Amino acid sequence: MNTEIIRNRKSVRTYKEQAIPEKILDQVRDYLEQDTGLFEVSIAFSILNARETGVSSPVILGADTYVAGKYKKQKNAELSFGYAFEKFILYATSLGLGTVWLAATIDRKAFEKAVHLKDDEVMPAVTPLGYAAEKRSIRENMMRKGMKSDSRRPFEELFFYENFQNPLRESDAGIWQLPLEMVRLAPSATNKQPWRVVAEKDQVHFYERKTKGYAKEATGDIQKVDLGIALCHFEIAAEESGLKGKFIQSDSGITAAEDTEYIATYRLER
Ligand SMILES: Cc1cc2nc3c(=O)[nH]c(=O)nc-3n(C[C@H](O)[C@H](O)[C@H](O)COP(=O)(O)O)c2cc1C
């Protein structure tokens, strides 16, 4: 996985009526078996044939195959899900396949039945899998416009140095520039970009800035899933930059606004 794939990924909701070759599906299957999450929370994946299982999404045209993931309710589960599912999304992108995170606009009942969801489990999101059509549907174009899917908040609105009073300019970000730029390019639910970061010399703290009225029962805290995606992108870029570090959870006590929750820290190993 590399930052070029992160830059190339875009949501795909309009697909060609073209089957995925069995060989590619085998690669997908093998990948999903070894895809691991974060903080020891394991994620289980299913590949679903839409014709056989009856799963569908009102915003998707032309796709027959879906991948769904689920976890057992526990601490850090949303974070781990976001991290592992995005790793898969990027892997699929590297195989030339189109994907889109879907949490809200799906026939949730049908998907939950198809993955045999138990009472103590949550299936936050799914993705179709297939080849992108040459042209997006009118509906997809309208959705992208409505959510401003082609733009992201400026670097210094998302990222800070040492405290939240001190915006970090991209040109001052040093070793963190590439990893943070990859966070900025991440997909997020309705493109809300809830990731906030306070960088220091040898560590980077991640926070979730919660959008009001967003938490939903069926999907857990979907913006924590967004944060898991951010950690995935950050780690890929950090590795590519030759940095050695790992994620830990230890709240540094930096003063944050009430709607902003500490999530995790990337700490350089010396
Ligand atoms: C956790 C999550 C949930 C999402 N849920 C939906 C959804 O229910 N329906 C949909 O059409 N897009 C969904 N999206 C896709 C976002 O709208 C999309 O990523 C964002 O607008 C940015 O566009 P891009 O992915 O092309 O960069 C979701 C994305 C994430 C990360």
Nearest-CA residue for atom 17 of ligand 1? 190
Q: Is the dihedral of CA 158, 164, 168, 173 positive or negative?
A: negative
Q: What pLDDT score does 212 carry?
A: 87
Closest CA to 81 of 116, 48, 30, 126: 126
Nearest ligand 1 atom, CA 106: 8
Residue-level pLDDT at 255: 95
Q: What local confidence, expressed as pLDDT, does residue 218 receive?
A: 74
List Cβ neighbours of 225 (8 Å cut-off, separation of 6 or more): 78, 79, 81, 82, 85, 103, 124, 125, 189, 219
Mean pLDDT per block of 10 residues along the chain (270 residues) reads: 96 97 98 96 98 97 98 97 98 98 97 98 98 97 98 98 98 98 98 98 97 78 97 98 97 93 96
At residue 194, the pLDDT reads: 98
Q: Which residue's CA is the closest to the ligand 1 atom numbered 3?
A: 189
User: What pLDDT is attached to residue 215?
Assistant: 67
Per-residue model confidence (pLDDT) at position 63: 97
3-state secondary structure of 89: helix
Ligand 1 nearest-atom number relative to CA 13:
11
Reported in sequence order, the residue ranges of the chain that DSSP labels E, i.e. its strands, are 44-49, 65-72, 121-122, 126-129, 159-161, 163-167, 195-199, 203-209, 245-248, 260-268
Distance 199 CA to ligand 1 centre (A): 27
Q: Looking at residue 213, what is its pLDDT?
A: 80
Q: From ligand 1's centre to the CA of 210, what distance in Å? A: 17
Q: What is the rounded average pLDDT for all residues in the chain?
A: 96
Q: Which residues contact 232 (CB under 8 A, 6 or more apart)?
A: 82, 83, 86, 87, 90
- 98 CA to centre of ligand 1 in angstroms: 13
Any atom of ligand 1 within 6 Å of the Cβ of 190 = yes
Distances (CA, A) of 107 to 103, 152, 167, 215: 10, 29, 41, 19
Please indicate whether residue 189, judged by its CB atom, sits closer than 6 Å to ligand 1: yes
- CB-ligand 1 contact for 10 (6 Å cutoff): yes
